Amino acid sequence: MNHPVIAIVVPCFNEEQALPVSVPQMLAVLDGLVAEGLASSESYVLLCNDGSKDDTWRVITELHQADARVKGISLAHNRGHQNVLLAGLMTVCDRCDAAISIDADMQDDPAAITEMVRRFKEGKEIVYGVRSSRKTDTWFKRTSAHAFYSFQKKMGLETVFDHADYRLMSNRALKLLGEYGESNLFLRGIIPQIGLENDIVTYARSERVAGESKYPFAKMLAFSIDGITSFSARPMRWIFMTGLTLLFIDILVAVYVFVSLLFSSHISAGWASLMLSVWALGSLILIAIGIVGEYIGKIFTEVKHRPRYAVADMLWD
């Protein structure tokens, strides 16, 4: 493919302030690709509205009217970042040679797209955008993010360190992604499982061009938990091993109590140790029930086979 059609897929939720700034930058990148002979002039940007509460869809419509290379789809309901991103990728699957997903806030450097396309033309099917550093993050954000990546790895989840959802996928990779039918989406875990030839492009992350972050700490934590429970049963195994360890400790305590009864003339009431044991075991039981419930909830969602999203409107021509 001397001049592949490149689709830039952008998930959008309440991004009316960011899109007028970020879309011209993406179009400028496409112009550069065409000028260098790396991409076809038919390349385009697809903006995917995830049921935004502001005027995001109106802004997308205006951008489409101003430049036909800007396409748009709008979901009927807010379905979350992973679902709207998948909707965009599946929309362009048969309309491009490669798709690049990037957020609307321009924190991920769009200049890295050029290098991604070069790697694609060299034969790479998937190219991950990886942050070169986290200097722009606060200490808490940087520490918690690295903790999440490390914890996911210990839980048996295969992800790319310091990679979010900024990546290039070939048409072949997109079609293989479409064969994954789970409702509980964690694309950062699914895509490495596709197993095609891949590479990494590093870039420096910037501040948002406008708007507010859509991933506060609570949402990051929930996202990490979703990823772990969608791809690994290791937490349940850890509960089992913890239970065996506590059983062994209980046996030792029982032996101690029995020996004390035989050889001690008096025994203290032991109220503190008893209460601590009750509270510790109670907490462990609740945690175990919560983890098992998380898996059962995912099974409940999967077996219903409900559609992951519905496209309400499309701007293409």
* Dihedral over Cα of 73, 77, 82, 83: its sign: negative
Give how far Cα 314 sits from Cα of 44, 46, 59, 72, 252, Å: 14, 10, 14, 6, 67
Q: What was the pLDDT predicted at 96?
A: 96
Q: What was the pLDDT predicted at 269?
A: 59
The architecture in CATH of the region 6-232+306-315 reads: Alpha-Beta Complex (3.90)
Question: Amino acid letter at 219?
Answer: K
- Asked if residues 301 and 184 have their Cβ atoms less than 8 Å apart, the reply is yes
Q: What was the pLDDT predicted at 192?
A: 87
Q: What was the pLDDT predicted at 5?
A: 96
**DSSP per-residue letters across 182-201:** -SS--HHHHHHHH---EEEE
> Phi/psi zone of residue 195: left (φ > 0), alpha (ψ -120 to 50 degrees), beta?
left
Q: Which two tokens stand for residue 164?
A: 């979010």
Domain ranges, ordered by start, for the chain: 6-232+306-315, 234-304
The pLDDT profile of the chain, 317 residues, written as one tens digit per residue, is 689 999 999 999 999 999 999 999 999 999 999 999 999 999 999 999 999 999 999 999 999 999 999 999 999 999 888 899 999 999 999 999 999 999 998 888 999 999 999 999 999 999 999 988 766 666 666 676 677 777 667 766 677 777 888 999 999 999 999 998 887 788 888 888 888 999 999 998 777 656 565 555 566 666 666 666 666 666 776 776 777 677 677 667 667 666 766 666 555 656 556 655 766 677 678 777 777 777 777 777 777 677 888 899 999 98
- Asked if residues 213 and 220 have their Cβ atoms less than 8 Å apart, the reply is no
Neighbours of 181 (CB within 10 A): 8
- Asked if residues 108 and 166 have their Cβ atoms less than 8 Å apart, the reply is yes
The Cα 133–Cα 145 span in angstroms is 12
Q: What was the pLDDT predicted at 227?
A: 64
Question: At how many degrees (to 10) do helices 19-35 and 112-121 cross?
Answer: 40
Q: What was the pLDDT predicted at 40?
A: 95
Q: What was the pLDDT predicted at 212?
A: 62
Q: Give Cβ neighbours of residue 245 (< 8 Å, ≥ 6 apart).
A: none
